[in-house]
Amino acid sequence: MKPSPSTRENALLRTLKLLARNKIGLLGLIVFLSMTLISFVGPLVIPPETQAHVDQIYQPPSAAHPLGTDFQGREMWKMVIHGGRDVLIVAFLAGIITTLVAVTIGAVSAFFGGWVDSLMMGITDIWLTIPRFLLLVVVATLVRLENVWMLALFLAFFGWPGLARQIRSQVLSLKKREYVEAAQLLDLGPAHIIFREMLPNMMSYIVIAMINAMTSAIYSQTGLVFLGVVPFGNNWGVMFSLAYAKNAIYNPNAAASLLVPMGAIILFQISLVMLSRSLEEIFNPRLRRGV
């Protein structure tokens, strides 16, 4: 039976109230949506900077240049608008894929136990002992990462073990709950019990974990771009890397070319962390009182 339009409207209204109740979370949502809108819609409205302006190189922020200019005299605010899309796509994709893989492996391992648990957690433990970022750098030099989709898959491939361990611990604590034991007695099947009974009660934890995976993916891709092993696009990481390569760190007037892309990355990550405060209230029934 499908929910009526009025039921859906009530659920949406309740969700908006939960988002608005936590002021920090609401501010995070506003910043998150603003940066997403700017990154995806802004390039359709604002033309890119394609020409150098040698007479405007490394101009500090001013009324004429709100965020300053880079080593070619290009406006930093335009570069920020055109540099966010790739960073956000990689963060979204890597976060979602990492969470899906980790949730599946962790939940299946904990639910079945026995040799399945030993095998999966053995592989996970081995994967956890490998220095992740160093391996990312080495493999990235051997594998041709042609677009953001491949980079997202690449980061997700290396990012799931820690979260899988955490999900396993959560599922182990839920296995002894009455509703899970009742579902087992009714022989509803492992897939139904895991994905319909147990995981919905972990949505608060899973959503926060996905946000953490997104922030980790942003750091990883920025580090790889800074080292020059994934030199595609013109994203915030590339902007920072180019400014550093042009010795902007030694020029006081060039500080904006380093601080602006770094600030955009930090601001987006802060918005995710702040947004998680409201998302926790939405998915955690114990925090919904009074709405």
pLDDT tens-place string over residues 102-161: 999 988 888 888 888 889 889 888 888 888 778 788 877 777 777 778 888 888 888 888
| Segment 254-262 mean pLDDT | 88
Tell me which amino acid residue 169 is.
S
Asked if pLDDT for residue 289 goes beyond 60, the answer is no
CA-to-CA distance for 178 and 206, rounded, in angstroms?
Answer: 22
Residue 38 confidence (pLDDT)? 92
Tell me which amino acid residue 154 is.
F
Residue 288 confidence (pLDDT)? 55
Using an 8 Å Cβ cutoff, are 45 and 200 in contact? no
Q: CA torsion, points 154, 157, 159, 163, in degrees to nearest 10? A: 150
Residue 209 confidence (pLDDT)? 87
Residue 227 confidence (pLDDT)? 79
Q: Mean of the per-residue pLDDT values for the chain?
A: 82
| Segment 79-93 mean pLDDT | 89
| Segment 167-176 mean pLDDT | 84
pTM over 0.85? The answer is no
Specify the higher pLDDT residue, 233 or 171: 171
Asked if pLDDT for residue 6 goes beyond 70, the answer is no
**Closest among 79, 29, 27 to 50, alpha carbons compared:** 79
Residue 37 confidence (pLDDT)? 94
* Domain limits, the chain: 84-287
CA-to-CA distance for 40 and 93, rounded, in angstroms?
Answer: 15
Segment among 59-68, 90-99, 225-234, 254-263 with least mean pLDDT: 225-234
pLDDT tens-place string over residues 25-75: 888 889 999 999 999 999 999 888 778 888 888 888 888 888 888 888 888
In the CATH scheme, what is the code of domain 84-287?
A: 1.10.3720.10
Confidence class for position 284, pLDDT limits 50, 70, 90 = low
Using an 8 Å Cβ cutoff, are 163 and 213 in contact? yes
Residue 41 confidence (pLDDT)? 92
Asked if pLDDT for residue 278 goes beyond 80, the answer is no
Asked if pLDDT for residue 97 goes beyond 80, the answer is yes
Residue 35 confidence (pLDDT)? 92
Residue 162 confidence (pLDDT)? 86
Residue 9 confidence (pLDDT)? 61
Residue 64 confidence (pLDDT)? 85
Q: What are phi and psi of 69, to 5 degrees?
A: -130, 165
Q: Which tokens sit at 239? A: 């902007």
Q: What are phi and psi of 75, to 5 degrees?
A: -70, 125
